């Protein structure tokens, strides 16, 4: 889990036929917002005409992400790679007429980014799958175990293919809630996909049998325990491209959430939803580039850091270097006297500087008296010329590993 824990930022990609009309991915027919045939017809408009996987990978790299996770198949069953299983895929059923996953995986590897594949276990369009829509189930496994077995052979076949063709670093499963671990053959899936790749990582949507938690949209309020976790989040309110959804977070708001994840010891998996022609919507591109400006300046306060200290000691997000001798303070808004306040740190402070800018800062300590071991209150002054447009990050170098006063 080492690379994953240190990576902090990943880019999620939801790309599929739902981007043609800009409707809710898969759920739109499942929930009955449009008939299944109409939904499927979108495949006719899925051209990928301007798809430039090298550009995607370069943009992801520029954002500061260390990995990317792309939908190989969502709940609608449309496969984006060249598959010999099933009937519904980009090569045979859309004007794209090619494997869209292979060149992207290569482009990621060329950029030295880790490869994650999203795969929906549930496949609502497949004729031998149990569930079709919210109101319409095809059959139940107990009624027709043979039919389920057929479906499982199809699903395992696709997974085997993905493994053989791409052998990703990370498997991001979804849609597991419709069946039990036994019905999905989770153990078999895990051992199949781990063959010859013992470091491979699985998210937790395999009926609990995964390596890390995947909260979605809801940023955890409290610092989760010591478990690995990753927040999957949209830039607007949609995973896939929906032209009508203009409810984008600003770059500042995305960075707010990212900093919160870092300070709580987790990763952010930030989603983009490319259009049917393969272009990335302008608003999404802007967010990735702005994020890139901030991440490239603050590398040392992002990658490989550990979760921060309780808010009792600093009114804001923080993180620690692995050896806990550097405390990073993420300052969004500068106080009116230009001074931030740190309390109860027992270590001697050796130096304080602005990350990515280098300015060495002055500090003063109050309420520290000779007759008590109370470490005092530290005021750190941030000069105006050191202020970052998003978050100014202050590195506090301590003598030894951090000791918090109780």
Residues that bind ligand GLC (CB under 6 A): 14, 25, 174, 216, 232, 239
Report how far residue 119's alpha carbon sits from residue 158's, in angstroms, rounded to the nearest whole number.
10
Question: Residue 205 or residue 264: which is nearer to ligand GLC going by CB?
Answer: 205
Question: Residue 14 or residue 61: which is nearer to ligand GLC going by CB?
Answer: 14
Question: Residue 169 or residue 271: which is nearer to ligand GLC going by CB?
Answer: 271
Query: Least distance from C-beta 35 to ligand GLC, angstroms?
Result: 19
Query: Least distance from C-beta 25 to ligand GLC, angstroms?
Result: 5
Query: Least distance from C-beta 122 to ligand GLC, angstroms?
Result: 9
Query: Least distance from C-beta 126 to ligand GLC, angstroms?
Result: 16
Q: Which of 120, 130, 138 is nearest to 183 (CA)?
A: 130
Residue 199 in tokens:
């470091």
Query: Least distance from C-beta 232 to ligand GLC, angstroms?
Result: 4
Question: Residue 172 or residue 390: which is nearer to ligand GLC going by CB?
Answer: 172
Query: Least distance from C-beta 322 to ligand GLC, angstroms?
Result: 29
Question: Residue 131 or residue 174: which is nearer to ligand GLC going by CB?
Answer: 174
Query: Least distance from C-beta 296 to ligand GLC, angstroms?
Result: 27
Chain position whose Cβ is nearest to ligand GLC = 232
Question: Residue 56 or residue 239: which is nearer to ligand GLC going by CB?
Answer: 239
Strand order, beta sheet including 67-73: 201-202, 170-174, 114-120, 67-73, 9-13, 267-272, 230-233
Question: Residue 60 or residue 398: which is nearer to ligand GLC going by CB?
Answer: 60
């Amino acid at each position: 889990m080492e690379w994953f824990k240190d990576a902090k930022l990943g880019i999620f990609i939801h790309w599929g036929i739902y981007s043609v009309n800009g409707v809710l991915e898969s759920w739109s027919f499942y929930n009955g917002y449009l008939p299944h045939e109409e939904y499927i017809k979108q495949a006719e408009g899925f051209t990928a005409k301007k798809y430039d996987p090298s550009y995607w990978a370069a943009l992801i790299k520029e954002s500061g992400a260390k990995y990317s996770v792309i939908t190989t198949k969502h709940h609608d069953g449309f496969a984006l790679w060249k598959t010999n299983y099933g009937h519904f895929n980009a090569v045979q059923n859309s004007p794209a007429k090619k494997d869209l996953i292979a060149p992207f995986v290569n482009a990621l590897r060329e950029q030295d980014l880790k490869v994650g594949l999203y795969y929906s276990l549930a496949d609502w369009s497949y004729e031998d799958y149990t569930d079709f829509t919210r109101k319409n189930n095809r059959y139940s496994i107990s009624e027709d175990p043979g039919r389920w077995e057929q479906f499982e052979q199809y699903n395992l076949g696709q997974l085997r293919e993905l493994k053989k063709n791409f052998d990703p670093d990370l498997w991001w499963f979804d849609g597991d809630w419709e069946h039990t671990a036994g019905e999905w053959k989770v153990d078999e899936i895990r051992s199949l996909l781990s063959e010859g790749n013992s470091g491979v990582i699985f998210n937790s949507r395999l009926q609990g049998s995964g390596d890390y938690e995947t909260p979605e949209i809801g940023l955890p309020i409290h610092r989760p325990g010591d478990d690995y976790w990753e927040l999957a989040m949209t830039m607007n309110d949609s995973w896939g491209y929906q032209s009508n959804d203009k409810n984008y977070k600003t770059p500042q708001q995305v960075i707010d959430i990212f900093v919160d994840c870092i300070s709580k010891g987790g990763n952010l998996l930030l989603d983009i939803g490319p259009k049917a022609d393969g272009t990335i919507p302008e608003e999404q591109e802007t967010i990735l580039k702005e994020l890139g400006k901030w991440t490239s300046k603050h590398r040392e306060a992002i990658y490989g850091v550990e979760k921060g200290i309780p808010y009792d000691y600093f009114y804001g997000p923080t993180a620690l270097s692995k050896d806990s001798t550097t405390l990073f303070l993420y300052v969004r808004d500068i106080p009116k006297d230009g001074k931030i306040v740190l309390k109860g740190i027992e270590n001697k402070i050796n130096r304080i500087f602005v990350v990515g800018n280098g300015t060495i800062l002055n500090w003063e300590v109050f309420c520290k008296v000779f007759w008590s071991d109370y470490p005092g209150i530290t005021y750190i002054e941030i000069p105006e010329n050191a202020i970052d447009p998003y978050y100014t990050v202050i590195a506090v170098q301590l003598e030894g590993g951090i000791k918090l006063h109780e």
